């Protein structure tokens, strides 16, 4: 579903964001992407969803290159940023309708999906309120509903659980798993190793822009805890 081949991204000024990174996410997989602050997680994610241009490498989503056919590629993916800055002056409902219009979600489908997701994330009654009045967690929930609204084949999430209450975090994990059970794929970054350990089918560890480990959970951590492996790998890479 997602294939990254030899991705290299250097920022103007010379700082290397990501260097020669390759990985593949297959349909039905939840793929965790972990690394310390500034390791290159967000840079990689922004390159996947077309927010960052990159000078070398190739990214394809279901066989469609994000560089060559960005609109076509974006129409089958969804993205949730680490800090969901939304249109503050719109209501939640107006924002969801906007996203549904962009992805051509039919009226009856959008009604059913919005109400279902909003109810399970306990935000339904706030949808007509202005986004400016939302807390960080509510904005995060709204961004998550918007992302799932068109049933994307690939969902890319940057720190999706930050700001969510425990119940909402549980619901989101459930929705993520259900989505993958339908053949979709999820690629997400996190700092919370316990979440990665429990939720992910595969993980990749990134350090200073380079992939230092990847594979199934068993392949990467063996019998140790993910925390021990992560700390060991990132220390070794120094």
Partner 1 sequence: MRSLYLLLRTEFLSLVGSFNRKGKTPVVVAAILLIIFGLFMIGTMALTGAVTAHELVEKDLTEFSIFVSITLSMIIALMFGVVNSTRDAKSNDTGMLLAMPIPKASIVIAKLLGMYLLDVLCTMVMLVPTLWIVCEQGKQSYDVFARGLLIGFLIPALPLFISLLISGLMSYLRKATKFGQMASSSLSIAAVLLYMFVVPRMSNLANELDLTPAESISKMKLIPPFYWITEAIYNADPLCILLTLLITLIPLVLAVYIHTRGLTGVEFHVDNSKKARSFKTNSSRMAVLKMEFKRYFSSTNYVMNTLFGTLAMLAITIMIAVQGLGSLAEFGTVEFNGKSVALLDYLTGPLWTCIWMIFINFFGSVTFTTPSSVSIEGKRIWLSKSLPIETKDILNSKILVSLLIYQPLSFVCCVILAIVSKCGILPFLLLVLSTSLFQLLTTLVGLIFGLIYARLDWTNEAQVIKNGLAVILSMVVNMLLAFLMCIAPFIAVIIGKTVVTYSILGIEIAVMAGLCAGAYAIITHYGVRKYESLNG
Interface positions with partner 1 (CB under 8 A): 46, 49-53, 70-75, 79, 81, 83, 85-87, 89-91, 93-94, 97-104, 106-107, 110-111, 114-115, 125-130, 133
CB of 143 to partner 1, least distance (A): 9
The smaller minimum CB distance to partner 1, of residues 150 and 207, is found at 150
DSSP state of 206: E
Nearest-approach distance from CB 116 to partner 1, in angstroms: 13
Question: Based on CB atoms, which residue is closest to partner 1, 84 or 230?
Answer: 84
> Toward partner 1, which CB reaches closer, 98 or 170?
98
Residues 199, 176 contacting (CB under 8 angstroms): yes
Q: Which is nearer to partner 1, 152 or 193 (CB)?
A: 152
Taking the C-alpha atoms of residue 47 and residue 24, their distance in angstroms, rounded to an integer, is 15
**Shorter beta-carbon distance to partner 1: residue 37 or 89:** 89
For the beta sheet containing 185-190, the strands, ordered from the edge strand earlier in sequence to the opposite edge, are 77-80, 154-158, 185-190, 30-35, 202-207, 210-216
Dist CA 84 CA 38 (whole Å): 19
- Strands 202-207, 185-190: pairing is unpaired
- Least CB distance to partner 1 at residue 37 (A): 18
Q: For partner 1, which is the closer residue by CB, 149 or 213?
A: 149
Q: What residue has token string 């409902």?
A: 93
Residue 197 DSSP class? H
Nearer to partner 1, 11 or 170 (CB): 11
| Total Cβ atoms within 10 A of residue 157 | 23
CB of 118 to partner 1, least distance (A): 9
Rounded least distance, CB 94 to partner 1, Å: 7
Give the DSSP per-residue string, 89-153. TSBHHHHHHHHHHHTT--HHHHHHHHHHHHHHTT-GGGTTSBGGG--HHHHHHHHHHHHHTT--S
**Which residues are CB-contacts of 206 (< 8 A; sequence separation ≥ 6)?**
18, 21, 33, 34, 35, 39, 40, 41, 44, 212
Give min distance, CB of 114 to partner 1, in A. Answer: 7
- Smallest separation, CB 224 to partner 1 (Å): 36
């Amino acid at each position: 579903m997602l294939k990254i081949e030899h991705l290299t991204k250097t920022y103007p000024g010379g700082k290397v964001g990501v260097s020669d990174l390759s990985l593949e996410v297959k349909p039905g997989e939840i793929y965790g992407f972990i690394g310390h602050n500034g390791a290159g997680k967000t840079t990689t994610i922004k390159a996947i969803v077309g927010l960052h241009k990159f000078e070398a490498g190739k990214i394809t989503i279901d066989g469609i290159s994000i560089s060559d056919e960005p609109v076509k590629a974006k129409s089958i993916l969804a993205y949730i940023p680490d800090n969901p800055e939304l249109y503050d002056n719109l209501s939640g409902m107006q924002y969801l309708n906007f996203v549904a219009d962009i992805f051509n979600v039919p009226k009856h489908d959008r009604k059913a999906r919005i109400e279902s997701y909003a109810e399970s994330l306990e935000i339904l009654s706030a949808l007509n309120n202005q986004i400016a009045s939302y807390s960080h967690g509510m904005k995060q929930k709204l961004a998550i509903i918007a992302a799932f609204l068109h049933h994307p084949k690939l969902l890319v999430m940057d720190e999706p659980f930050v700001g969510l209450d425990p119940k909402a975090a549980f619901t989101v994990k459930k929705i993520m798993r259900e989505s993958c059970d339908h053949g979709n794929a999820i690629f997400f970054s996190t700092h919370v190793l316990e979440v990665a350990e429990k939720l992910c089918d595969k993980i990749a560890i990134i350090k200073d822009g380079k992939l230092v480990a990847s594979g199934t959970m068993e392949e990467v951590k063996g019998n140790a805890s993910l925390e021990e492996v992560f700390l060991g790998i990132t220390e070794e890479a120094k």
